[in-house]
Amino acid sequence: MTETFSLKAELRETGTKSAVKLRENGRTPAVIYGHKQEPVAVSIETSDLLKAMHSGNRLFDLEFDGKSETLLLKDMQYDHYQRDVIHVDLMRVDMDEKASVTVPVVLKGTAKGIAEGGMVDVHLDHIDVECPVVSIPEYFEVLIKDLGLNDYITVGNIELPRGASLITDSESVVVNCHEVTVAPEPEEGEELEEEAVEPEVITEKKPEDEEEQK
């Protein structure tokens, strides 16, 4: 069962200038929405938010304006360096409902196909699922140690939490191991480039009367 992380928030003013000032003061702007209620703009202490995010939790008990709500971390916006979180979206949820979420995929192990001369290609680093909010995983672990040459693992091979269903196509390939193809070297004496062809020298034909005068 997914645990919730308690955080405190404060109501905030909307607008770019207000958001910039909040970030300068160590707070992250956020918006709360869902359950057919009006969105609420709040801010959260950035250090507390990062600590909660790094714990792997998606659910938060957020205290603000004299009340507490259970919220799902739905989306995060980063700066243009993709380094700092500058805004988060928090969705209201009930513990007995499902939510559509994006869950990271983490590969574990070394594919045996590498020792056979293969190379591993990762096609998906996350998958979308509909899952009970109490069972949302931090990530999906995919074991690849038995992945041999020309083997692959699809989304449908990933074990889901009870009550969860796939949104991503089950036939989509997550990871595969393929043979490394090397371009053949030219045989000895074989020229890689066409030989340069000497241009034909064209001499100007002299008039017949000039030939006769010689």
pLDDT tens over the chain, length 214 residues = 566 789 999 999 999 999 999 999 999 999 999 999 999 999 999 999 999 888 888 898 999 999 999 999 999 999 999 889 999 999 999 989 999 999 999 999 999 999 999 999 999 999 999 999 989 999 999 999 999 999 999 999 999 999 999 999 999 999 999 998 776 766 665 555 555 555 555 555 555 555 444 4
User: Residue ranges per domain, the chain?
Assistant: 4-93, 101-179
4-93 and 101-179 have identical folds: no
Domain range 4-93, its CATH number among 3.60.20.10, 2.40.240.10, 3.30.420.10, 2.170.150.20: 2.40.240.10
Between CA 107 and CA 112 the distance in angstroms is 14
What is 101-179's CATH superfamily? Answer: Ribosomal protein L25, C-terminal domain (2.170.120.20)
**DSSP secondary structure string, 143-180?**
E-TT--TT-EEEGGGSPPPTT-EE-S-TTSEEEEEEEP
